């Protein structure tokens, strides 16, 4: 005979397990950029549909690839990203993860395709290797950690995932522009014009690596002295202050992502873009993308040795605290994050 007092408790337990234990959380979704409000809702929908068609969804992401490019396992990259990057950089790579509002500088919004620490000229996309290096080393003096202990395959696949999010964002803004000007989204044109336009910028960067114009000389106290003079006469001190600390009242600017920024305190002992002479050379010669730090490639093209003198001076400034030269506090108030 079937006795309810025997099977009922078991059934209830099973129901409970099903409800609590097996209930899966909804997977995250990519958020879409703010589509211009003047677009009618069906065009906004068309933009989103087209973007999904070309670059997939969270569960099935697709990396836009230039000819000859390949990629690593994107779902593996997504796993690493969700575990280690999303808190700051956000599910869609918009730099707006839950921690972002407490951080200065803000985590990178990848969707503009602009990256600061590149070995390519000002205004260019970075090399893929630049992104790999940043992920391994982190950005010293900011909250961007280094992931040097991650297995190589994790680093490579998370970089491809960063590229997936970045190129998706670049394409999105292009499709929005198309919808705005043509009042329609044309898949054929997206494929024949917009996607190649996004990809060309990445492939032209891969062959634009900047190498120093003259080989690195020995950096001596004489080069530091010459560098100091150049620093004061070539306009560096206008932003970085005479002592390189950036403590001038005018030192306020905005970056390409719409956040406050200011010229680096070169005495902080923490060069964000790395402290090899070559890193500092590239920051000065190439400038820093997305920020007011200009390229001096043109201004100094006839005096390549001055760039190395400036490198020597910047490195000596960076080192000064270690030698007991602690600068006095300056005029600039600490950064106050937006509410
Ligand atoms: C605690 C917050 C935080 C975490 C976690 C984090 N980042 Fe960042 N990331 C930042 C910040 C802040 C910056 C901007 C630094 C700057 O502007 O100087 C940044 C910048 C970057 C950049 C751009 C560098 C450039 O040249 O412009 C890349 C690429 C990047 N992060 C990738 C990653 C990846 C991949 C992960 C996970 C494996 C990750 N980040 C985890 C905070 C974080
Ligand atoms: C128009 C203002 C401006 C001028 C002029 C300028 N800089 Fe900068 N510089 C900046 C800003 C802003 C940053 C910080 C960029 C960022 O957000 O990481 C910076 C960053 C740097 C860095 C990178 C520091 C790091 O953390 O890696 C170096 C090196 C540097 N500047 C050297 C120079 C030198 C040398 C000159 C003169 C030849 C110069 N700058 C002229 C605004 C300026």
Ligand 1, CB within 6 Å, residue ranges: 80, 84-85, 87-89, 99, 103, 105, 107-108, 115-117, 131, 134-135, 139, 142-145, 147, 158, 162, 272
Q: List every span in the chain annotated with CATH 1.10.760.10.
A: 41-206, 221-323
- Residues 67-113: tens digit of each pLDDT: 999 999 999 999 999 999 999 999 999 999 999 999 999 999 999 99
**CATH code, residues 41-206:** 1.10.760.10
For the domain 221-323, what is the CATH superfamily, name and number? Cytochrome c-like domain (1.10.760.10)
Cβ neighbours of residue 295 closer than 8 Å, sequence gap 6 or more: 121, 122, 285, 286, 287
Mean pLDDT of the chain: 91
Nearest ligand, measured from the Cα of 163: 1
Nearest ligand, measured from the Cα of 134: 1
Ligand 2: distance of its center to the CA of 311 in Å?
A: 12
| pTM summary value | 0.91
- Residues 133-175: tens digit of each pLDDT: 999 999 999 999 999 999 999 999 999 999 999 999 999 999 9
Q: What is the model's pLDDT at position 323?
A: 84
Ligand 2: distance of its center to the CA of 140 in Å?
A: 15
């Amino acid at each position: 005979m079937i006795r309810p007092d025997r099977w009922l408790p078991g059934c209830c337990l099973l129901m409970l397990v099903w409800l609590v234990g097996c209930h899966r959380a909804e997977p995250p979704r990519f958020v879409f950029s703010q589509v211009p409000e003047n677009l009618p809702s069906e065009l906004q929908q068309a933009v989103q549909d087209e973007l999904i068609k070309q670059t997939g969804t969270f569960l099935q992401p697709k990396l836009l690839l230039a000819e000859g490019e390949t990629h690593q396992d994107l779902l593996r990259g997504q796993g690493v990203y969700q575990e280690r990057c999303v808190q700051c950089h956000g599910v869609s790579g918009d730099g707006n993860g839950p921690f972002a509002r407490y951080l200065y500088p803000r985590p990178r919004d990848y969707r503009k395709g602009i990256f600061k620490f590149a070995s390519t000229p000002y205004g260019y996309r970075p090399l893929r290797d630049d992104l790999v290096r940043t992920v391994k080393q982190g950005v010293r003096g900011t909250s961007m950690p280094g992931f040097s202990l991650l297995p190589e395959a994790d680093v490579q696949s998370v970089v491809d995932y960063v590229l997936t999010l970045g190129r998706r964002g670049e394409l999105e803004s292009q499709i929005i522009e198309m919808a705005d000007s043509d009042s329609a989204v044309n898949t054929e044109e997206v494929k024949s014009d917009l996607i190649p336009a996004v990809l060309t910028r990445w492939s032209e960067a891969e062959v634009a690596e900047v190498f120093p114009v003259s080989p690195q000389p020995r950096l001596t106290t004489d080069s530091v002295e010459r560098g100091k003079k150049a620093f004061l006469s070539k306009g560096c001190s206008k932003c970085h202050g005479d002592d390189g600390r950036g403590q001038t009242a005018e030192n306020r600017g905005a970056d390409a992502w719409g956040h406050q920024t200011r010229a680096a305190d070169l005495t902080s002992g923490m060069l964000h873009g790395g402290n090899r002479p070559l890193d500092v050379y590239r920051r000065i010669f190439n400038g820093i993308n997305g920020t007011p730090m200009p390229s001096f490639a043109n201004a100094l093209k006839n005096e390549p040795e001055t760039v190395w003198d400036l490198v020597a001076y910047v490195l000596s400034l960076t080192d000064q605290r270690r030698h007991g030269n602690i600068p006095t506090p300056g005029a600039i108030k600490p950064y106050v994050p937006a509410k």
